[in-house]
Structure 1
Amino acid sequence: METSELLKKVRQIEIKTRGLSNNIFAGEYHSAFKGRGMTFSEVREYQYGDDIRNIDWNVTARFNHPYVKIFEEERELTVMLLIDVSGSREFGTSFKYKKNVITEIAAVLAFSAIQNNDKIGVIFFSDKIEKFISPQKGRKHILHIIRQLISFTPENRTTNIGEALRYLTNAIKKRCTAFVISDFMDDDFENPLKIANQKHDVVALKVYDKRETEMPSVGLVKLKDAESGAYSWIDTSNRKVRDSFERHWIENDENTKSIFRKCGIDNTSIRTDEDYVKALMYLFKKRI
Structure 2
Amino acid sequence: MAKQLSASTDLRIHTSMARLTGLAAQGRQLTWRPPLGRCSLLSGLNVASQRGRGLDFIELRHYHPGDDVRCIDWKVTQRTGQPYLRVYSEEKDKTIQLIVDQTSSLFFASNGSMKSVIAAELAAIIAGRVNYDGDRFCGNVIHDSGITALVSGRGESAMLTVLQQVVSQNRQLPQTSMQANGLKQVLNDLCQRGIKDQQLFILSDFSDFDAQCVPLITQLAAHNDLFAFRVSDPLEMVLPKRNILMGNEEYQLNIAQNNEQLRAKYHDYIAQHRSVLDACFKATGQPVFDFTTHLDTWAQINSLSHLSSSSESGERAS
Q: How does 1:66-85 map to 2 (within 5 A)?
A: 73-85=90-102
Matches within 5 A, 1:4-23: 9-19=16-26, 21-23=27-29
* Structure 1 unaligned blocks of 5 or more: 44-70
Alignment correspondent of 1:62: none
Structure 1 vs Structure 2: percent identity of aligned residues? 16
Q: Looking at CA atoms only, which structure, 1 or 2, has the larger radius of gyration?
A: 1
Task: State the partner residue of 1:209.
Answer: 233
User: Does the CA contact (< 8 Å) of 2:29 and 2:129 recur in 1?
Assistant: no
Q: How many residues align?
A: 255
RMSD over aligned CA atoms reads 3.4
1:88-127 alignment to 2 at 5 Å?
A: 88-125=105-142
Instruction: Select the residue among 290, 300, 305 that pairs with 1:281.
Output: 305
Structure 2: runs of 5+ lacking an equivalent: 1-5, 34-39, 58-87
Q: Residue in 2 aligned with 1:25? A: 31
TM-score normalised by structure 2 residue count? 0.68
Which secondary structure state, in structure 2, belongs to the residue aligned with residue 189 of structure 1?
helix
**CA 1:88–1:256 in 2, change beyond 3 Å: closer, same or farther?**
same
8 Å contact from structure 1 (residues 210, 271) kept in 2: yes
* 262, 265, 289: which one aligns with 1:268: 289
1:258 aligns with 2:265: no
TM-score for both structures, normalised by structure 1: 0.75
CA offset digits 1:128-181 (Å, max 9, x no partner): 951112421122222222222122147743334222112123347453111111
The alpha carbon displacement at 1:210 in A equals 0.6
Structure 1 counterpart of 2:245:
222
> What do residues 216-275 of structure 1 show as CA deviations (whole Å, max 9, x unaligned)?
1232x321269xx43222213434433333222222111211111223322211122134
In 2, Cα distance between equivalents of 1:135 and 1:164 = 16
Higher helix share: 1
CA contact (8 A) 2:51 2:197 kept: no
Structure 1 distance, partners of 2:10, 2:282, is 42
- Aligned equivalent of 1:166: 188
Rounded Cα–Cα distance in structure 2 between residues aligned with 1:259 and 1:279: 25
What CA distance in whole angstroms lies between the structure 2 residues aligned with 1:33 and 1:246? Answer: 44
1:246 aligned onto 2:260: no
Change (3 A) 1:92 1:174: same
Structure 1 ranges of 4+ moved more than 6 A: none
Structure-2 change in CA distance of 1:5 and 1:138 (3 Å): farther
Partner of 1:135: 152
Return the offset for 1:26.
6.9
